[in-house]
Structure 1
Amino acid sequence: MSLAMLLFVLVSGVVWAVDKWYLARRRKQGERQSDEVELFAGLFPVIAVVFLVRSFLFEPFTIPSSSMRPGLEPGDFILVNRFSYGIRVPVLNTVLIETGKPQRGDVMVFRYPVDPKTDFIKRVVGLPGDTVTYRNKQLTVNGKSVTQVALAEGSYVRDNSANLIPVQRFKETTATRSYLVQTVEQAPPVNQDQVLNFPYRDNCQYDDSGFTCKVPAGHYFMMGDNRDDSSDGRYWGFVPDENIVGKATLIWMNIGAFSRIGTSIQ
């Protein structure tokens, strides 16, 4: 998407320059010019502004699945802050100006390592150098369990056969934020048959109770808040820094639930 927009900006910019500095003079002399060229040239300022905003400030993103429930729902339209983790060169995505680093607990949008053309959204649970352990539904980072408090209210989800399954919700707290996660009691902490052969796979050890992974330098470990219904780092590994898109900040639209509009993302 970024490459396509950049190419469109460049092409429309060339047409705009030709129209402004050459064709406009000929129009003043009474020569008739193509309306399509003038219209295309007029798109350049608009497309350039959109490109700059999406590349350096904010980018819209739609929540496509239930992997971030209960905090984010399918159908949520969110704003992604593109400068939270550095001002990056468009397309190449390398950091031009350092403005900050991801923190544990941040909700981050990134390019899916398996298919970089696809954007994913998950929560940062491991930073470069961290040892992340998830066993028996308890998250531990560098040997310290992440604070987890069970909530009293119950909730249900539907399985593939439309049966209602009870889920347990917890409030997890890191050094920087608190957020809700949910689990299904009878689901395993990781489905080992779905684990891919990802880069730095040797940094991880799996067994029936869960896994432990050592996050390599320049990478991050991501998990969904809907712990038992999320394709995340457990299965496809680590997110390199160059795949980072930005930090999720705000729900700006949900056509089916207007009450969610304006909700900040925890």
Structure 2
Amino acid sequence: MRRSSRSTQGASADVLPTRFLAGSRNSLQQSQFVLSFRPFLESKRHPTKVGWRCLTYLGKRVPRDGARCHPVVICHREFVPSRLHKLILISRISGCRTEDDGWWRWHTMSPSIESMQEDTMWRKREKKAKKPAVILRIAKHYGWTPGRIVSEILEWAEVILVAGTMAVLIMTFITVRMHVPTDSMFPTINGDRSLLKADSFFVDRVTYYFRNPKPGDIVVFRHEQYIRTKAPVADSAAELAGMVAGEIVTAEQVPAYLGGRAMFTEVAINSYIAALPEGAPVSLRTAQGNSYDLGLKTSEQTLEEFGIRWKVKKIMYVKRLIAVGGQTVQIRGGDIYVDGEKLEGERFDHYYYSDGLGYQYGVEPTLVPEGHYFMLGDNSANSADSRYWGFVPQRDIVGVPYLRVWPLSRIGVM
């Protein structure tokens, strides 16, 4: 790297950064300094930062006689002049630009306190400046520079992708919003088929990551809306019985029947199959009224093992948790008894019916299987709950309601 053989006003060239060509030249007045930008092209350091350091040094070399110092900033014309904009801004350009023998020259005023303040403000603005989208930076990294319209499209695509991903993560692991179409939980939660007056609330999905549901909790869970068959396994008992794809096995209010017993859920159906002794006949009547003779049970534990393939569609329900796995529950005289003890308190201060048509669970002492829950609606006269379709498995638990957001007159923490 070249260094000047002469110095102005006794300035030593050794104190300058070695990456710069700085000092006086025969072709310039002794009150001028020269800063070459060629080392910037060879250096990986930011030219603005490096140039500011050099200009700050030059500003300190003002002659003692008070003469004004005019540093001259020089770079080759192959270096795009617009790249010097930031450096020119902070070094207070005087407006003079010339081109001579392939070099650009900007005559600038010496850096001052004001210019240093401007530099500080510019650095703050630079930090706040909008950065290119990640997808554009990746494209640039691989050598592709899209046009303005394509860049806008890619930026919006990135925003939509990020927003969609965040929404999925939040709804999967943190919270979800729910509307209630029926009055099964009235007066705790109001329902409306039109949803215009129905309560709408957010469900906390995090709480049950740290503790198990307990009796008295209002719980949101997923429950079968319908079970629909797919094409049966080839040469299976289901195919031989004539079952086809698209058969509705159970619907929300219409059960399937196995051995003359109503079944609403996948859990109930498979529990019944598992409890049958070997050699017992298995026949299924679907919600559509079609009957299928599946033969005799051998080692099958689920209905799928007879060759039936199905799709289960679930929707969210909200009920009050009454009993957990291992407890025995019974509804008697409008009250609930768990392990022989009556449940009391404001949360259970409701009349629970046990003599309705189709009630199968809780009418007599009923043992709740491990890993399952027994759910009832507060307005039990108008509630489809565990009395009809049995138990809710742990895997179907969603969370606990925590914030009502509609209607406006009922907004608040639940």
Corresponding position of 1:46: 163
In structure 2, give the amino acid aligned to 1:219: H
The match for 2:326 among 121, 129, 152 is 129
Deviation at 1:259, TM superposition (A): 2.4
Higher helix share: 2
Deviation at 1:117, TM superposition (A): 2.1
Distance 1:27 1:181 in 2: 68
Distance 2:392 2:188 in 1: 22
Deviation at 1:19, TM superposition (A): 5.8
Pair 37,146 (structure 1): closer, same or farther in 2 beyond 3 Å: same
Deviation at 1:18, TM superposition (A): 6.0
Decide whether the 8 Å contact of 1:27 with 1:33 is kept in 2.
no
In structure 1, give the amino acid aligned to 2:164: I
Pair 40,124 (structure 1): closer, same or farther in 2 beyond 3 Å: same
In structure 2, give the amino acid aligned to 1:77: S
Decide whether the 8 Å contact of 2:358 with 2:388 is kept in 1.
no
In structure 2, give the amino acid aligned to 1:229: N
The match for 1:83 among 190, 206, 224 is 206
Corresponding position of 1:110: 221
Report the TM-score when normalising by structure 1: 0.63
Deviation at 1:135, TM superposition (A): 1.6
The match for 2:347 among 173, 179, 187 is 179
What is the DSSP-based 3-state SS (H/G/I as helix, E as strand, rest coil) of the residue aligned with 1:65?
Answer: coil
Distance 1:41 1:129 in 2: 50
Pair 38,231 (structure 1): closer, same or farther in 2 beyond 3 Å: same
In structure 1, give the amino acid aligned to 2:392: V
Corresponding position of 2:358: 193
Distance 2:380 2:163 in 1: 41
Distance 1:105 1:66 in 2: 18
Moved more, 109-118 or 71-80: 109-118
Deviation at 1:217, TM superposition (A): 0.5
The reply to whether residue 218 of structure 1 matches residue 371 of structure 2 is yes
Corresponding position of 2:139: 22
In structure 2, give the amino acid aligned to 1:54: M
Distance 2:179 2:219 in 1: 13
In structure 1, give the amino acid aligned to 2:399: G
The match for 2:175 among 58, 62, 84 is 58
What is the DSSP-based 3-state SS (H/G/I as helix, E as strand, rest coil) of the residue aligned with 2:212?
Answer: coil
Superposition RMSD in Å: 2.8
Decide whether the 8 Å contact of 1:70 with 1:181 is kept in 2.
no
Pair 181,263 (structure 1): closer, same or farther in 2 beyond 3 Å: farther
Pair 123,143 (structure 1): closer, same or farther in 2 beyond 3 Å: same
Distance 1:73 1:41 in 2: 40
Deviation at 1:84, TM superposition (A): 1.1
Deviation at 1:27, TM superposition (A): 6.5
What is the DSSP-based 3-state SS (H/G/I as helix, E as strand, rest coil) of the residue aligned with 2:382?
Answer: coil
Query: For residues 223-262 of structure 1, what are the structure 2 equivalents within 5 Å?
Result: 223-254=376-407, 258-262=408-412
Distance 1:104 1:134 in 2: 15
What is the DSSP-based 3-state SS (H/G/I as helix, E as strand, rest coil) of the residue aligned with 2:159?
Answer: helix
Distance 2:339 2:185 in 1: 24
Deviation at 1:240, TM superposition (A): 0.4
Decide whether the 8 Å contact of 2:328 with 2:368 is kept in 1.
yes
Question: Which one has a bigger Cα radius of gyration?
Answer: 2
Deviation at 1:146, TM superposition (A): 1.1
The reply to whether residue 119 of structure 1 matches residue 316 of structure 2 is yes
Deviation at 1:44, TM superposition (A): 1.5
Deviation at 1:51, TM superposition (A): 1.8
Deviation at 1:190, TM superposition (A): 3.8
Deviation at 1:55, TM superposition (A): 1.7
How many pairs align?
190
Distance 2:134 2:323 in 1: 48
Report the TM-score when normalising by structure 2: 0.42
In structure 2, give the amino acid aligned to 1:129: G
Distance 1:32 1:110 in 2: 46
Corresponding position of 2:338: 141
In structure 2, give the amino acid aligned to 1:249: Y
In structure 2, give the amino acid aligned to 1:143: G
What is the DSSP-based 3-state SS (H/G/I as helix, E as strand, rest coil) of the residue aligned with 2:220?
Answer: strand
Higher strand share: 1
Distance 1:47 1:143 in 2: 50
Deviation at 1:119, TM superposition (A): 0.8
Distance 1:24 1:36 in 2: 18
Decide whether the 8 Å contact of 2:216 with 2:348 is kept in 1.
no
Percentage identity across aligned positions? 29
Deviation at 1:211, TM superposition (A): 3.2
Q: Which runs of 5+ in 2 are unaligned?
A: 1-132, 192-197, 225-264, 266-311
